[in-house]
Chains A and B, each alone.
Chain A
Amino acid sequence: MVMSAPFMVSETAGLVLAVVLGLFFGLFLERGGMGNPHKLTGIFYLTDFSVPKVMFVAMLVAGTGLYLLSDLKVLDMQRVWIVPTFFWPQLLGGAIFGVGFLFSGYCPGTAVAGFASGRLDALVVMLGIGAGSLLFAVVYPAIEPFYLSSPMEGATLPSVLGINHWVVMVFVYLMAAGMFYAMERYERRK
């Protein structure tokens, strides 16, 4: 079979598709309760497990499909942009992000979903995200060496561990299954 995906479309068609894919992104976020700051922060107080459920199911479905289409030679993985890894900046970034997530009650995409369900506090968070981006741009010259440190290009768990991607996937399935089982049990007990 000839590999055709990812499709190289014109810029205009690409932007139209961006809106269409965004529509579904917003639909599923809102329907999953991901525009509601009480549900979003519930994980950190073990009162609502919607965030890890939505997130890990989405990752598993998309990841399984991606590697399956690649193995079936329908999709050329070489032409898919792999999220680049910069170990320490992303570890620190994730840690700062967690605090901001807890305080604000949202993350960038869910703040948009929250605003779209009429939440004006989400609009304040969105303005804060803009201010945080500005702060980063202002201090960028001072932190550039750290920002560019520990690069690992498009490193993935299979490539770093030197094992087949399905071995990693099975490990992720088992981890997710155990996590979902524990969450369901915990919720039923409450």
Chain B
Amino acid sequence: MEVIMKKNSFWSPYIAGAGLGVTLLATFVIAGWGLGASSAFSLLTGLGLGKLSPAYAQKLTYFSQYLNVEAPLLNWVLFEVMGLFVGALVASSLTGNFKLRFDKPEHMGTGTRLLIAFGGGILIGFASRLARGCTSGVALSGGAQLAIAGWIFVIAMFVSGFIAAALFRRLWS
């Protein structure tokens, strides 16, 4: 019981949100831009394809922004995401929240979870490129700047998420 209690001992979302806000503000002040996440995935995919099939990768004009630079791995968002991973790893380990598992809705089979995880990931990856960023780079960073981009993304995301949840009522609930 104690272990279960400990596992769910998250901070108040208001406190975590305030900490995240200060981190974002520090990023604006130090770097002159906000936090990001999705572009690291796009960068690594582009570079991976560049290794596997250089000729085909060069044909994809969208990936040329990663392939035709001197040291593409020395990328600010990529380093920030590596920090994100370590920060979350330390936090989950110190609080006993780290546990190797395959997390899924209670009544869902592993195959279905694999499908919606990968399929949902494809939608996220595609949408993040179309919107020029994700919940971090556009919604959070843009929203804080009062940028139009941030607010239209947030509103569209929640509206569409609610509609999808109404259509797939038993997916996660």
Number of chain A residues whose Cβ lies closer than 8 Å to a Cβ of chain B: 129
How distant is B10 from chain A, measured CB to nearest CB, in Å?
4
A116 engages B10 (CB within 8 Å): no
Q: Among the listed B19, B32, B140, which residue makes an inter-chain contact with A27, where contact means beta carbons less than 8 Å apart?
A: B19
Q: Among the listed B19, B45, B137, which residue makes an inter-chain contact with A130, where contact means beta carbons less than 8 Å apart?
A: B45
How distant is B23 from chain A, measured CB to nearest CB, in Å?
4
Provide the residues of chain B in CB contact with A62, threshold 8 Å.
21-22, 24-25, 28, 140-141, 144
A55 at the A/B interface (Cβ < 8 Å)?
yes
* Chain A interface SS verdict (over half): helix
Q: Which residue of B lies closest to A83 (CB)?
A: B142
Q: Among the listed A66, A115, A132, which residue makes an inter-chain contact with B123, where contact means beta carbons less than 8 Å apart?
A: A132
A94 engages B152 (CB within 8 Å): yes
Provide the residues of chain A in CB contact with B119, threshold 8 Å.
103-104, 128
B85 engages A49 (CB within 8 Å): no
Provide the residues of chain B in CB contact with A121, threshold 8 Å.
102-104, 113-114, 117
Interface size class of B (residues with CB under 8 A): 35 or more
How distant is B80 from chain A, measured CB to nearest CB, in Å?
4
A135 at the A/B interface (Cβ < 8 Å)?
yes
Q: Report the separation of the CA atoms of residues A7 and B145 in the bound assembly, to the nearest whole angstrom.
A: 18
Task: Scan A76-91; emit 1 where CB is below 8 A from any B CB, else 0.
Answer: 0001111111110111
How distant is B55 from chain A, measured CB to nearest CB, in Å?
14
Q: Among the listed B77, B97, B128, which residue makes an inter-chain contact with A97, where contact means beta carbons less than 8 Å apart?
A: B128
Contact status of A44 and B120, CB under 8 A, knowing A85-B148, A156-B145: no
Q: Which residue of A lies closest to B131 (CB)?
A: A93
Q: Which residue of A lies closest to B33 (CB)?
A: A81
Q: Report the separation of the CA atoms of residues A50 and B138 in the bound assembly, to the nearest whole angstrom.
A: 19
How distant is A69 from chain B, measured CB to nearest CB, in Å?
7
Task: Scan B12-34; emit 1 where CB is below 8 A from any A CB, else 0.
Answer: 01111111111111111111111
Q: Report the separation of the CA atoms of residues A17 and B27 in the bound assembly, to the nearest whole angstrom.
A: 9
Provide the residues of chain A in CB contact with B98, threshold 8 Å.
117-118
B101 engages A119 (CB within 8 Å): yes
Contact status of A94 and B147, CB under 8 A, knowing A26-B85, A55-B17, A136-B125: no
A38 engages B30 (CB within 8 Å): no
A1 at the A/B interface (Cβ < 8 Å)?
no
15 further A-B contacts with Cβ under 8 Å, apart from A15-B76, A55-B17, A96-B127, are A19-B86, A25-B87, A44-B164, A44-B165, A53-B17, A58-B17, A60-B21, A85-B147, A95-B159, A97-B160, A109-B134, A121-B102, A126-B41, A129-B125, A165-B146
Q: List 21 A-B contacts (CB under 8 A).
A: A19-B83, A25-B80, A28-B16, A28-B19, A29-B16, A33-B16, A85-B148, A89-B132, A94-B138, A97-B131, A99-B164, A107-B136, A116-B89, A116-B92, A124-B121, A129-B128, A131-B45, A135-B122, A140-B60, A157-B148, A160-B148
